[in-house]
Structure 1
Amino acid sequence: MTANTEPALKPERPFFSSGPTAKHKGWALSKLQTGSLGRSHRSNVGKARLKHAIDLSKELLGIPEDYLVGIMPGSDTGALECAMWTMLHPDRPATVAAWESFGNVWIQDAVKQLKLPRLTTLDADYGEIPDLASIPQGDDVVFTWNGTTSGAKIPDTDWLEADREGVTINDATSAIFAMEMDWPKLDATTYSWQKVMGSEAQHGMLILSPKAVERIENTDPVWPLPKLFRLKKGDKLNRAIFEGATINTPSMLATEDYILALEWAKSIGGRKAMFERADANAKIVTDWIEATPWLRNMVPDPAQRTNTGVCFVFQGDYYDSLTEEEQAKVPGRIAKMLEDRDVGYDFNGYRDAPPSLRIWCGGTVEQEDLKRLLPWIEWAYGRLQA
């Protein structure tokens, strides 16, 4: 194939967005159960389906029996901020670590909203990870397991001691169902349905360890607490929330879509199969990046590279000859060329990231579709140089 010859094959499913991500192959609206639609979420039917979503999540993720799992409003953001608002306290030291856009939101929450007086912030450029080993074990810590907009993940949890004094709040939205969670070291873990599972957006999950429950019950927030963050009934955690009695009205249609995705994941082998699919998908893309001289993985350290949203930047003589303004337009021009041809949707880099492309490789994406996409990116880049 020359630079001016279009590839022969297009992806059958050209969905490469990093959120909401692709539905699994074989998904159809007709496969959703509809018995809960038009019913109150407080009805026996509604609560049973919400509880089923919770129980399936706990089973597939291998969450310890004594951990609680609840459905929260506001996607991963709502769940993560609920954990911060209910577990952090001005009297306690805290560290918030970030290395991309969403982690920096949690820093801004801690600095500008909660105004924690004993706060340490750790940040790093896109593609890098800060020195996590420097975080004191007595600090409460907020971190993002996998940088959705940079493709940089934590390489391990060695920097967290199992019996650390502080609580650990983990934003795992683009990691969970693709990477194994070290549950004994995690006190509050959050994610959203629309990331790795490819389900509908707006609902988030909050997973609490016994230590997290104790912290919530023993903490009286000094800041205003919106109703959507109120996890306690009196002085105790309202455990009904973690049995399907959500704080506010959830979408039962979105719930049924999430259940369908969970049942599909279970049918193919559970989380281990999802990990393997993401690893295989990411290898296709990362191997291609390594073999393409005009591309570079945004994350230089292979141990810190994600297996979900793989991010890469441009380099080489042609790219370097462009002005900074022209360079910034390259990823978007490629993405638009391929979207116009129904080859690939929504794989431009994040708006706050360096000019880049970002291809989602989570378990709902098929290998063959990735293999078909990559020659088209080569073709489009060739077109820019013509």
Structure 2
Amino acid sequence: MTAAKPSHRPQRPYFSSGPCVKRPGWTPEVLKGAFLGRSHRAAEGRARLNEVITRSIALLGVPEDWQVGIVPASDTGAVEMILWALAGQRGMDVLSFESFSGTWAQDLKDILKLEDLRVLEAPYGELPDMAQIDWSRDVVLTWNGTTSGVCIPSVESVPAQHDGLVICDATSAAFAMDLPWDRLDVVTWSWQKALGGEAAHGMVALSPKAVKRLEEGSQRPLPKIFRLTNKKGLNEAIFRGDTINTPSMLCVEDALDSLRWAESVGGLEALKARSRRNLSIVENWVAKRDWVAFLSEAKETRSCTSICLKITAPWFEALDDAARSKVIKAMTGLLEEEKAGYDLAGYRDAPAGLRIWGGATVEAEDIEALLPWLDWAFARTEEKFATP
């Protein structure tokens, strides 16, 4: 393959899948009014934390009778605190089809040692057979596999009526995809994905059904940062902005800026449309190439945020895993040297390939400008690594 070196670079060549690129027009000036040097438990500190909660509820369309709070340790902390608090009260099915969903399955099996656990697995690029899920049990699912580019195909994938709790890790789906709030019971996400916010803070949303289960009590002792309940039941202060531990008010200010930007561009529908457009640009490009394809071959499960690609050139497929990783490292290194695209390698545990974040904070023009550079970098890499 030959490809001329492009002359036009993305204006913002930031395509990391987390932390993700800031919203268009962001500068450090937006943090000037941050509530610093004061206690986050002061009235104004609480008010700003509560504003993150209320704006998130409005933007995502969370039902009025749900509880939403800010928790420690990003989406990972949010998922873990829920699993430790709720897992084991009844039989549980967990979907495992990429790195993080695999971690939840491993924790439930090896750390929490659930006796009545079913792990429904699929390789990278595929979803487990959702027909095998027993919805009378608790179900743990990741709505969008950040490291595989595979997402749940539709809101109807979860039945409206189910006896158990449906626990949904939505960190790369929230603010970019439809989430069926009337079919879920626990939803978690973080600021650092689709909002382009700063790391280390997670959010958890609880249905009345989930709250009731939490108030019935955990089967195991919980560390302080995992406790959502107290002697009176649900610790409702957490869901008004009284966080379990000390949050970064700089990150809070940044999250508020992201939420206000999202509202200004048209809310959730606009965010979803921006992300879908980014995916469509990549789809059109892939359709005209014979060296690259989507890791998710099924269009209906293809993520519009974590867009994962695999190299299909015969010489690449003939390499072992270590050699493939060297090729990807060389290719992404060229892109970084040219300041044409950063952080484009697939996740370390995923098959060697490329990953482009396509969430709403990414401009479509930058995706369009990136793609010719991928052609160029592949051609340069092929010259070095392909055998005659």
State the TM-score, normalized to the length of structure 2: 0.96
Provide the residue aligned with 2:46 in structure 1. Answer: 47
Q: Deviations over 1:108-157 (max 9, x none)?
A: 11011211111111110000000112111211011100000000001124
What value does the CA root-mean-square deviation take over the aligned residues?
Answer: 1.3
Whole-Å separation in 2 of the counterparts to 1:111 and 1:345: 36
Equivalent residue number for residue 168 of structure 2: 170
1:304 aligns with 2:308: no
Range 149-158 or range 237-246, more displaced: 149-158
Q: Which amino acid aligns with 2:79?
A: L
Q: Which runs of 5+ in 2 are unaligned?
A: 384-388
Is the alpha carbon distance of 1:59 and 1:341 closer, same or farther for their aligned partners in structure 2, counting shifts above 3 Å? same
Change (3 A) 1:251 1:337: same
Question: 1:188 is matched by which residue type in structure 2?
Answer: V
The separation in 2 between residues aligned to 1:5 and 1:29, in whole angstroms, is 37
How far, CA to CA, are the matches of 1:226 and 1:325 in structure 2? 40
Hey, what does 2:346 align to over in structure 1? 349
2: CA distance between counterparts of 1:320 and 1:106?
Answer: 30
Residue range with higher mean Cα deviation, 100-109 or 308-317:
308-317
CA displacement at 1:385 relative to structure 2: 2.7
Tell me the alpha carbon deviations over residues 146-202 of structure 1, each in whole angstroms, 9 at most, x when there is no partner.
000000001124343223110010000001100011001111100010001000000
Residue 296 of structure 2 is aligned to residue 267 of structure 1: no
Residue in structure 2 matched with residue 141 of structure 1 by the alignment:
139
Residues paired across the two proteins, number: 383
Q: Alpha-carbon deviation of 1:64? A: 0.6
Correspondence for 1:68: 67
Distance 1:331 1:195 in 2: 23
What amino acid does structure 1 have at the position aligned with 2:196? Answer: G
Q: What is the rounded CA distance, in whole Å, between the counterparts of 1:108 and 1:324 in structure 2?
A: 23
Determine whether 1:20 maps to 2:10.
no
1:240 aligns with 2:237: yes
How far apart, CA to CA, are the structure 2 residues paired with 1:117 and 1:327? 39
**Does the CA-based 8 Å contact 2:173-2:305 persist in structure 1?**
yes
**Residues 77-115 of structure 1: per-residue CA shift (max 9 Å, x gap):** 1111111111222x5110111100000110011011211
Q: Who is 1:361 aligned against? A: 358
Distance 2:233 2:225 in 1: 16
- Alpha-carbon distance in structure 1 between the residues aligned to 2:279 and 2:375: 18
Report the equivalent of 1:333: 330
Q: Identify which of 147, 150, 153 aligns with 2:148.
A: 150
Residue 29 (structure 1) aligns with: 28
Aligned residues of 1:114 and 1:223 also touching (Cα < 8 A): no
Aligned AA (1:60)? L
Deviation larger for 3-12 or 137-146? 3-12
Inter-partner Cα distance in structure 2 for 1:13 and 1:231: 39
In the TM superposition, residue 320 of structure 1 has moved relative to its aligned partner by 4.1
2:386 alignment partner in structure 1: none
1:27-72 deviation per Cα after TM superposition (whole angstroms, max 9, x unaligned) = 0111225251111010001000000000000000011111111000
SS of residue paired to 1:158: helix
Aligned residues: percent identity?
47
